[in-house]
Amino acid sequence: MLLPRQLSLTQSPQPASRVAFAGRALGLPLLLALGASTVLMAGGVDQWLADQLFHLQGGQWAAKDAWWASHLVHKGGRNLSFFAAALVILGLIRGSMDARWKPLQRPLAYLLLSVALSTGIVALLKSWTHMDCPWDLQRYGGLRPFIGLFEQRPVLLGHAACFPAGHAGSGYAWIALYFFMLQVRPQWRWPALVIPLAIGAVFGITQQLRGAHFLSHDLWSLAISWLVAVLLYAWMFAPSPSPARIRAPASSVAGEGA
């Protein structure tokens, strides 16, 4: 098995370097997320996109109870995320018993904590924001009027928990793999970013086809996942040097521990 000899980036960074790293990693993505969210939510693009999906399915959410959407992607995807988390936990247990895995403990702890925090924050916000799913709205054959994020929700409408998107968030939470790979195998960092983004997008699009979420719901889940991953990495590890500097020590130990 390929294990790093020494994770030199696990030194605790100075506060100023943490702030600088977080600022670089968060600035543009969050600005883009806020801009896109404004267009989607305030500009009515959320409803326009949902309208198209609704009409393409014959004026109903035909995918809502479809096996491929509700069982394969929704339930199966949730189980996949649980399974991945279980593998990380097993890795942590192995690291406590096997000296060869010891260098992976801190990166694995980061990965598990980032995923747990991201999904937990999304779940908490869902219970606070009280926004309805599209399938509950009168516009799409439901019983409730649309209430915006910052509008006062009438008590008579009862509880709602559809914002941000929990299922898409269970995929996007794994973008912490990018930072995990920066510590372990930096040459794999881009696949480690693209794969969770693709999985989160599949989860999100499927839920939109089912009428469970608007696009902005998925966007906020992605933004939260990135925010948590960056801030936790800045706290637990020193800001990463350039890939050229970090690749050499990782590749120099290829084959150790096999």
Tell me which long-range contacts 45-54 makes (C-beta under 8 A, separation of at least 24). Answer: 45/215, 46/214, 46/215, 46/216, 47/139, 47/146, 47/214, 49/208, 49/214, 49/215, 50/134, 50/140, 50/208, 50/211, 50/214, 51/139, 53/208, 53/209, 53/211, 54/134, 54/140, 54/211
How far is residue 247 CA from its own chain's centroid?
26
Q: What is the mean pLDDT of residues 243-248?
A: 42
- Whether pLDDT at 246 is above 60: no
Six-digit token pair at 198? 């693709």
How far is residue 114's CA from residue 219's CA, in Å, rounded to a whole number? 18
Which residue carries 């040459």 as its tokens?
187
Residues 136, 160: contact at Cβ < 8 Å? yes
- Whether pLDDT at 7 is above 50: no
Of 1.20.144, 1.10.3470, 2.60.40, 1.10.10, the CATH number of 64-147+158-251 is: 1.20.144
Tell me the Ramachandran region of residue 85: left when phi exceeds 0, alpha when psi lies from -120 to 50, beta otherwise.
Answer: alpha
Stretch among 51-65, 72-86, 147-161 having the lowest mean pLDDT: 147-161
The reply to whether omega before 164 is within 30° of 0 (cis) is yes
β-bridge mates for residue 144, sequence order:
137
Sign of dihedral through CA atoms 50, 51, 53, 54? positive
Stretch among 20-24, 33-37, 180-184 having the lowest mean pLDDT: 20-24
pLDDT computed for residue 58 by the predictor: 96
pLDDT computed for residue 158 by the predictor: 86
Q: What is the pLDDT of the chain when averaged over all its residues? A: 88
- Whether pLDDT at 12 is above 80: no
Interior angle at CA 105, CA 168 and CA 92, nearest 5: 70
For the chain, how big is the Rg over CA atoms in Å? 21
pLDDT computed for residue 18 by the predictor: 80
pLDDT computed for residue 20 by the predictor: 85
In this predicted model, what pLDDT tens digit does every residue of 206-241 receive, in sequence order?
A: 999 999 999 999 999 999 999 999 999 999 986 544
Residues 144, 132: contact at Cβ < 8 Å? yes
Q: What is the mean pLDDT of residues 142-154?
A: 92
Residues 225, 118: contact at Cβ < 8 Å? yes
- Whether pLDDT at 193 is above 80: yes
- Whether pLDDT at 250 is above 90: no
pLDDT computed for residue 26 by the predictor: 93
